[in-house]
Amino acid sequence: MNKLEVKINATKESSYPIFIGENLLENAYDYIEQYTKANNYLVVTNETVYSIYGEKLKSNNSKFIILPDGEIYKNMDTLNRILDRALEVKLERKDAIIALGGGVIGDIAGFAASIYQRGIDYVQIPTTLLAQVDSSVGGKVAVNHFLGKNLIGSFYQPKLVLSDINTLKTLDIRQFKTGLSEVLKYSFIEKSCKCEKHFNFLEFLQSNRTEIYNKNPEVLKKLINICCKLKSSIVNKDEKEKGLRAILNFGHTYAHAIEKLTGYDKYTHGEAVSMGMKLIFDLSLEINCIQEEYYHTATNLLKDYELMINLKDEFNHEEFYESMLSDKKVSDKKINFVIPIAPKEVTIKNNIDKKTILQGI
Ligand code: NAD
Ligand code: GLY
């Protein structure tokens, strides 16, 4: 089992642990009780995850809310249902919410915890690869609005993250690849994460593809550990996305427009992100920000992992641009693009003209 600490603004007081290992769900409350003072818990999960893992989280002190499964339910109505249930089971201020599921559950349960009685503790138990490498770490919690993704939310850190890699065994290949999109993202931004340790993550991914697809536990633990270290290095320096943290949105500006214009149900978040990353590599090559050699290394990695990279939809250019403008990465009506500039290195540019942005659409 690996344990690492996320320090917020480099302070020990607001740090929390991430545990990465096997069979952690079996003893989940042993970990949780060390980091919360709760007498009672509300476990927020969905039908799919509950049917596989719900039993493991049952205890005398836990109540459940089992939500329907899907990104379309990450909205204010579902948030209200969670708050209603918290009131119904009389959750008190020192009690805690446990998010058991993928990124959808983590985001909405964390947001509910951030506003229930002005904020109560919550615990992330991520059960998808995407949630274990990204969404459960760093405290971004939110719901979607019809005008855009994650537009209503807060920054609210969990008390601990419990990543049991055994849960990845039941994840289907499509969802596993969705997580791999975010994994590859870290390899493209590693140098810009300003982590004191160097992982050579891109090379690690190039040489461990088969082990990763075979879900080799040691390789998966190492991979999740590296992603969490890179992410916590960023969150440590810039919790509220005043600058550095924006690099985690690599590929996401295009991705959010793709998700929005396809109704959030045609593609998974990771599929949209891999298409978004390919578009951003194309854009960067077009504006001479990267050399061809790195362009081929990066896009070959996306291809080797068989991620979705080709846009199949015909988008109306004006609608696509409008969608990018309604994203929260926009400031002063300018779209901030995280652009690759060298191997494993990115920067933020907001002066790319509309025609060039839309060239690959
Ligand atoms: P998800 O939560 O919808 O889970 C994907 C599917 O896998 C669902 O059907 C779910 O029920 C199922 N599932 C979950 N765990 C399973 C398991 N162990 N075995 C079998 N099936 C399982 O999707 P996701 O990809 O985990 O998360 C996507 C969400 O995360 C999006 O809403 C995105 O906006 C958000 N996100 C947030 C952050 C952040 O920093 N907060 C970062 C990235 C993504
Ligand atoms: N997934 C983007 C972030 O956490 O900032």
Name the CATH code of domain 2-171 (choices 3.40.50.2300, 3.40.50.720, 3.40.50.1970, 3.40.50.11140).
Answer: 3.40.50.1970
- Distance (Å) of CA 291 to CA 237, 296, 302: 30, 9, 17
Residue 310 vs residues 58, 95, 248, 336, 360: alpha-carbon distances, Å = 43, 46, 22, 22, 10
Ligand closest to the CA atom of residue 245: 2
Contact 325, 310 (CB under 8 A): no
- Residue 103 and residue 134: Cα distance in Å, rounded? 8
| Ligand at shortest distance from the CA of 249 | 2
Known catalytic membership, residue 317: no
Do 307 and 173 meet the contact criterion of CB atoms below 8 Å apart? no
Choose, from 252, 278, 329, 344, the residue flagged as catalytic: 252
Whole-model pTM: value is: 0.96
Is residue 256 part of the annotated active site? The answer reads yes
pLDDT truncated to tens, each residue of the chain (361 aa)? 899 999 887 666 678 999 999 999 999 999 999 999 999 999 999 999 999 999 999 999 999 999 999 988 999 999 999 999 999 999 999 999 999 999 999 999 999 999 999 999 999 999 999 999 999 999 999 999 887 788 899 999 999 999 999 999 999 999 999 999 999 999 999 999 999 999 999 999 999 999 999 999 999 999 999 999 999 999 999 999 999 999 999 999 999 899 989 988 899 999 999 999 999 999 999 999 999 999 999 999 999 999 999 998 999 999 999 988 876 666 677 888 999 999 999 999 998 999 999 999 9
What tokens does 259 get? Answer: 């998700």
Q: How far is the CA of 111 from the centre of ligand 2 (A)?
A: 15
What's the CA-to-centroid distance between 90 and ligand 2, angstroms? 32
Atom of ligand 2 nearest to the CA of 140: 4
Catalytic residue chosen out of the listed positions 149, 237, 245, 260: 245
Strand partners, 339: 347
Of all protein residues, the one whose alpha carbon is nearest to atom 42 of ligand 1 is 135
Q: Is the CB of 270 under 6 A from ligand 2?
A: no
Query: Which residues belong to CATH 1.20.1090.10 in the chain?
Result: 181-358
Ligand 2 pocket, residue 159 CB under 6 Å: no
All CATH 3.40.50.1970 domain ranges in the chain, comma separated: 2-171
118 a catalytic residue: yes
CA 113 – ligand 2 centroid, Å: 18
Ligand nearest to the CA of 273: 1
> Could you identify the atom of ligand 2 that is nearest to the CA of residue 234?
5
Cα distance between residue 184 and residue 176, in whole Å: 12
- CATH pick for 181-358 out of 3.90.1640.10, 3.10.20.30, 1.10.260.40, 1.20.1090.10: 1.20.1090.10
Distance 103 CA to ligand 1 centre (A): 4
3-state class (DSSP) for residue 323: helix
How many angstroms is it from 249 CA to the middle of ligand 2? 6
